[in-house]
Structure 1
Amino acid sequence: MSITHADTSQIDGGSGRLHHVPATSLPSDHPMMELPFAAEIDGRQYQGAGVSLAGVKLTGLADPNLVGHDRLLRLSFPFEAFQLAIAVEGRITDINPGNGEIEVTFIDPTGPHLPQLRHVLNSYIAGDVVSMGRVLGVALQPNKPSKGGKQATNGGGGALRTIGNGLLVATATIALIGGAAWLVHDRFFVDHVVAPARVETAGRALTAIDAGQIDYLDTEASMGEVAFSIRATSGETLSVAMPCDDCTAISAGPELGATVQAGQPVLKISQADAPLILKVRVEPEQLYSLAEARGIEARFADGTSITTHADEASLSSAAADTSGRPLFIDLVPEASIDAGRAGQLARLTIERDYPFANGLDGIRGAIATKFASVE
């Protein structure tokens, strides 16, 4: 949902400009505002305790090891008939297990989420929004009576007010219809992927063939040489050979001495001229949505978006996995991705086909055939 507001006088001294806030801790010049909202991180819901343009404070149970990690937050502000959802990248800077408080600082406070969040905070400060829970209301000022006890009347002013009120009603009606259409489209024809996608070099992963500890690791191994060895829980040492000679191998995360599970990626290998793709971790129930998608939009933090589609080989491999755990899927972009975006995160939106799309295509084809026969 997109909301814009031109009035920034109540935030940041009226300049409308924000200085970049380092993602270490929340600055004191951005006071927290207590208004009802919720936040979703990695699929887990947290209750909002405070929000500002620099970050948020949440309450709930969280893993203390997440401190210092970057996560994609989905902030939800509830209203009576709808909710405003804002996605923003943040860094978890503090977790207090004692009272359940979690402090998250926005990585880029001036990112694409800024206009929507600033509008909500400005409206709340100004008193335009007097309820953020069950009812969305506005503060109305009563008409001031004239000295004689009767309201002053002005023929010209009354006409202008009538025209103005009519325009406001028409604008509100159009906005309501547009909002309803957007909600219907978002509910039935759009599917949001919770986990962000990451830009990586196309290739494949060498995975652990059994659970155990990595006993040997060589990213420079030639074809046929041992790339890594695992000392399995059974006591055996299992080795995996490098499958190619002209490829580049990098660690997929585990280091020498690390403990891995069966099927966990250990090395990522790719050809020297391999293109950039996006890789996303999804739940098994989302595989069909990716397979039948009309298009998958990937939007980066700077607002740039590209269209992608799920790689068929990646989908087939994931569909054969019966473990029930989250799976990695490759997304192939319609146009090449700039090399400077390697490692960047993107938010994914799956666009479904309209139920009557095939019927419309058939009608268009019949009309085209009819005109061709007439000519």
Structure 2
Amino acid sequence: MAINSDVLVIGGGLAGLTSALKAAREGADVRLVSYKQSSLRHASGLVDLLGYTPDGEGPVTDPYAAMGDLHDAHPYKTVGVETVREAMGLFDDVTDYRGDHTDTNALVPTHGGTVKPTARYPTGAAAGLASDDRDVLLVGLESMVDFDAPHAAAHLEAAGVPFDVRGETIRFPGDLQADAKITRYAKLLDTNGEVAVRGRKKGARDALAERVNTVREKEARVGFPAILGDDHTDAVRAALEEKIGADVFEVPMGPPSLPGLRLEDRLFEALDESGASFETGNPVVDFDADGDTIETVYIEKNGAKIPNSADQYVLATGGLVGKGIESDRESVHEPIFDCHIEHGEDRYEWFDGDAFGDHPFASFGVETDETLRPLTASDSVEFENLRAAGSVLGGYDFAAEKSGSGVSIATGYVAGENAAAEAR
């Protein structure tokens, strides 16, 4: 017997979660299925709308104003600027992120010493903005080789930030091994668990603050790698601020990312609160259609193919990196519904000879109509009851533009809204 719903969303990343949340808030009975863990845990936790133009100009000051100059095939032009604003309003409603007070991008320092233009950022990153002129101390940990604080500080200075910045490397209290998972640091700080310091037991927060105070001079801000707790990040930061005597912030890191995990948790909580159901860990392997209408998709579970039926479907499985789009030496294709992906017949047309050139493969993806229904090679609708959202879409280079999160939220919002309307 099939599992039935009004709207079935395939994909548990930012686009899929936004789509499912919007459809559920519109009153639809929503089910989300996802094979792999969300890509959010591999992301910085920052939410970018548009950091650079497709021509590489930037950083963009006002992403909404810049959207008007994008080419017609860009997903932002498909959904419209005002709809992007509405979609960000939904995101703001279910998270405690900062940045919703202005249209201007914030400039957030990263662990590599670059400054990233972003539209929304976690509360824990707020004290670190590059627009603030107060001096900064970056603190690295000997056991975390992914964050070289002196190196990052030197790069920030070279980038011309309006403050003095230094980097120091200390040993984390308790001397965790270099291969310790970031969640071990976070758990110790969450619980203020005891660590051994010169033969004496101390709370991890107290011991960490004491070590920072041995290297801090007069900096008004102190930045740590993003490990400051998981469930109680505000409490961890507040305790460190009190004992250090400076504002504390987290520097976004590479994967695995605690800010990304926190965002994923919050969005799944919001989805649960909306009344939607979800299942992760099992792939969609097949589907049935009657002409241009999808009737059933099949999820593989313990060797069995479980039918799931809905009135409307949303495809939010990711792009080339997330395997929502696949390629071999002959072709590029979308693996679930075999939606059309425009690409050159000669694979040497897929990339530029210059390593830093404009590579066509970066914009590979599904093309859609104005309601985000995938189109065939002849521009007819593939399936009347299917919509696509997020990085499975073509027409933009999210890595170069720093637009991935914004496109996922905006197109997920529209796909969910349209699917819910059609399901009624």
Output the TM-score relative to the length of structure 2.
0.19
Task: Tell me the TM-score normalized by structure 1.
Answer: 0.21
Larger radius of gyration: 1
From the two aligned structures, give the one with the greater helix fraction.
2
